[in-house]
């Protein structure tokens, strides 16, 4: 097994000095008005509907089920989505807190919500400090659960924690779930934040993690996430084109393992489509469009536009018409050489990827 703990520590120090491939969806693609944004899967949707009515029980049952079955990827995603919903509709969460204030799943959602609320403030680091106690309380619930540790990693990045402390959290996280995607994304973001422009180090970490992960693990998409960060950053030394293509190829293989038109891998596929367009791999991008089906996701299109759904639909139309667009919706420049790196910043890219 590749020692990703050692690789992460080494990056800190060096920075200081045929498969189950799915078939394309049959028939035509959905019409523009049938494309949806951030659709919850069939397990999360009823919990969100109930939360809209002020009822917390379906959400509590959903999270308890993921914990009991050790479905850590699903648990992480559901915690994110439930906390996001609570930012605008918190009545159900208040009811849950009144009924079971020490419920470990409740504590986890409340901790995620607290981090999310602090993140948008210019005083982020200061506001995050008292949230540490909430995360600690959530982590005491089930020692197998990596999700509180993913949250602790995000908290450490937002509060400008030092490398030694972050390494300790990382070691605790991967001891619980060595291939948990959310924890790996948190570590990748920390690397990118603390060594702005050090994309080679981010790629090294992402590549090692993907090499060590099972073929169907979401960690296979981590190099593509490193490539997205590089292509939207506009700083640092160039990354060879071959490395960007390799990241895309790994994500293509992962995408092919999931059913077409499935909301679960939708974000991986949307991000991959962005990457393929930037690499001017048009046919591969069109293939991902068929696999995406009606499921657009905010990330990465909200990094390019204030209207992520509209942006996706416009880019989709250009691709299907045989055009060769840029991800920001403009026309493509003259073709690049096969080995020319694609650096630089295009579009309305947000500074942070929380």
Q: Is the pLDDT of residue 136 over 80?
A: yes
Is residue 301 scored above 50 in pLDDT?
A: yes
**What pLDDT does residue 5 have?**
53
Give the chain's radius of gyration (CA, Å): 20
pLDDT at 258: 98
Average pLDDT over residues 127-140: 96
- pLDDT of residue 15 exceeding 50, the answer is no
More confidently predicted of 49 and 9: 49
Which pLDDT value is given to residue 8? 56
Q: If you average pLDDT over every residue of the chain, what do you get?
A: 88
- Between these two residues, 326 and 205, which has the higher pLDDT value? 205
- Arithmetic mean of pLDDT, 229-237: 86
Could you give the percent of the chain with pLDDT greater than 70?
Answer: 85
% of the chain at pLDDT higher than 90? 78
What does the pLDDT read at residue 353?
53
Confidence of residue 4 (pLDDT cuts 50, 70, 90): low
Q: Express each pLDDT in 52-101 by its tens digit.
A: 999 999 999 999 999 999 999 999 999 999 999 999 999 999 999 999 99
51 or 5, higher pLDDT: 51
Output the six-digit token pair for 207. 């590549």
| pLDDT score recorded for residue 326 | 72
Residue-wise pLDDT tens digits, 309-348: 999 999 999 999 998 887 766 544 333 333 333 433 343 3
User: 197 or 217: which carries more pLDDT confidence?
Assistant: 217
């Amino acid at each position: 097994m590749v020692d990703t703990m050692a690789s992460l520590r080494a990056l800190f120090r060096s920075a200081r000095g045929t498969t189950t491939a799915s078939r394309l969806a049959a028939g035509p693609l959905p019409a523009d008005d049938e494309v949806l944004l951030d659709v919850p899967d069939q397990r999360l949707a009823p919990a969100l509907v109930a939360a809209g009515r002020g009822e917390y029980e379906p959400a509590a049952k959903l999270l308890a089920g993921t914990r009991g079955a050790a479905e850590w990827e699903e648990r992480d995603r559901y915690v994110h989505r439930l906390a996001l919903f609570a930012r605008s509709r918190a009545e159900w969460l208040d009811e849950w807190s009144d009924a079971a204030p020490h419920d470990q799943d409740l504590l986890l959602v409340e901790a995620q919500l607290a981090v999310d609320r602090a993140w948008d403030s210019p005083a982020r680091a200061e506001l995050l400090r008292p949230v540490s106690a909430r995360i600690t309380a959530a982590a005491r619930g089930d020692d197998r659960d990596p999700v509180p540790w993913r949250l602790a990693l995000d908290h450490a990045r937002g509060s400008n924690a030092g490398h030694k402390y972050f390494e300790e959290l990382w070691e605790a996280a991967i001891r619980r779930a060595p291939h948990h995607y959310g924890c790996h994304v948190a570590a990748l973001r920390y690397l990118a934040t603390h060594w702005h422009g050090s994309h080679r180090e981010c790629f090294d970490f992402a590549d090692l993690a993907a090499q060590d992960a099972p073929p169907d693990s979401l960690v296979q998409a981590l190099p593509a996430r490193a490539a997205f960060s590089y292509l939207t950053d506009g700083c640092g030394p160039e990354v060879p084109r071959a490395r960007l293509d390799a990241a895309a190829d790994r994500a293509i293989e992962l995408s092919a393992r999931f059913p077409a038109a499935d909301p679960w891998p939708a974000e991986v596929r949307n991000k991959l489509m962005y990457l393929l367009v930037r690499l001017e791999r048009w046919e591969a991008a069109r293939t991902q469009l068929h696999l995406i089906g009606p499921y657009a996701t905010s990330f990465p299109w909200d990094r390019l536009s204030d209207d992520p759904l509209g942006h996706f639909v416009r880019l989709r139309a250009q691709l299907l018409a045989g055009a060769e667009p840029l991800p920001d919706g403009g026309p493509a420049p003259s073709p690049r050489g096969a080995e020319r790196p694609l650096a630089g910043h295009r579009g309305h890219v947000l500074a942070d990827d929380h």
